[in-house]
Amino acid sequence: MKNTIGLIFLFAVINVSYSTTLRELEFMKILYASEDVPKQILSSMITRRIDQIKTLYERKSILKDGKTFYTSTEHSLGLLLESVNSNDTQIGDLFESYSHIVNLLNEVNNLMQIHPVDHLTVDTSDSFSRDNLQAMMDGYIDDIEMVRMCEVSMGRADRVDMKIVERIKSLYNEVRNYTFYRDDSFVSESMSISRKTMDQCLWQFKFLLNKFTSTFIHY
């Protein structure tokens, strides 16, 4: 009974916003602007999200209400995946449903202090913390790999420029391994320089991502 009351309260305080833009959806719409997004892409996105939920569910810090929500969300995504595979629904409706489910997931995660980064894109800001920059880059790299696997299965492997992809991955590793040096006498200056370094990495990432996108679109 207590768990039920807690779950009702949890949903009561959620301020639902279905207009939140998800990076993965925005990126796919850009890549496939002149054609339908392959259903295989959406299927892969749903499967990836289910795996994410399973990982969150196993966290020791997640209380019963949270686990109940994750189970319900996994069931929703499972139903959506069945619909994708049955080809009985328009792709636009499927993407809208996916966005609805994930926005709810992100809002609940935020309530549980698991801050989502699905809304972060290269156009969100001109400056990111290293953690957010790394998380955003990681998300795009996962998206690109998902697209590559789809294009390979469709016999269009050359559409994904692997030279650019490798440069993006190399830049990601640079950001991940970057050391923030600090000198007690010049803390402010050091942190400022470190932030500018991240800004330079963001510019490089934008440049490479735009190059990848342009090559993909004009294949």
- pTM higher than 0.75: yes
Q: How confident is the model at residue 9 (pLDDT cuts 50, 70, 90)?
A: very low
Sign of CA dihedral 77, 80, 85, 86: positive
Residues 196/128, Cβ–Cβ less than 8 Å: no
Domain boundaries, the chain: 37-116, 120-219
pLDDT in tens, 134-176: 999 999 999 999 999 999 999 999 999 999 999 999 999 999 9
For residues 20 and 115, which has the higher predicted lDDT (pLDDT)?
115
pLDDT at 116 over 50: yes
**pLDDT computed for residue 91 by the predictor:** 81
How many CB atoms lie under 10 A from the CB of residue 38? 17
Q: Output the six-digit token pair for 2.
A: 């207590």
- The H or E element containing residue 146 is helix 130-153
Q: What is the 3-state secondary structure (H, E, C) of 91-126?
A: HHHHHHHHHHHHHHHHHHHHHCCCCCCCCCCCCCCC
